[in-house]
Structure 1
Amino acid sequence: MTIKYSKDHEWVTLDGDVATVGISNYAQEQLGDVVFVEVPEVGAEMSKGDELAVVESVKAASEVYAPVAGEVVEVNQDLEDNPSFVNEDATGQGWFARIKVANASDLDELMSEDEYKSFVEGLE
């Protein structure tokens, strides 16, 4: 499965027209221990760049932005009881929401894994 990244450190995988969204390993490392995650409501309409979720860590609170526009069709309820999934498995169990993509071209603006790796290296 292809994974794409935003400059705000969100990742996206696509299954049909449904995008699964979370934050990158780099982002969770910067945040430190995640203690709370607020996910959106199922049915919420997102525009690209809208606040999708809020992540609170021992260091700070941080917004997670929707890298694609569309309707939230599923959220990761497990994060309510286990916010540490974001640290333990950022690109797996730590996903935040699934969005039915309104405009597939939103994905074209995201970075490949290699592009993201170079982007992050430029930040360090």
Structure 2
Amino acid sequence: MSRIYYKKGNNMKIKFIFLFLFIIFTIVFIYIPKNDHNIKIAVIDSGIDVNHVDVSVIKRFDNKQTVMDSFGHGSAIAEIINKKNNENIDFYDGNILDENGNTSVETLIKALDWCIENKVNLINMSFGLSENNVKNLKKN
């Protein structure tokens, strides 16, 4: 089984950070205010802890009822996306990581299918893959 590892302190390249922020701010500040319907945003990451972040989670992947976020990364991403406390955002918690920060490519694919089934408008995946995992994804 392929594994995906999340390590605290991984450095992302600056250009990807700016691209990510540009996309998020474009959606949050331009697209959402011009629409009268809620936008569905899935955060596929370490989870969203609604006890620490003021966001509305509509649904959780695999019907997990836990609000734990072992790493705080998924919650931080949700908080950045919801910087304006926009009531037109429905968050979908795609927690795919275990308590050690590991997951499988199969779980990632199931989470993406879950997003499609729920007609999510935007999927945020801010994590990295090892070279072996990239090769496994290409095979699938």
TM-score by length of 1: 0.26
Higher fraction of helix: 2
Higher fraction of strand: 1
TM-score by length of 2: 0.24
Larger Rg, first or second structure (1 or 2) = 2
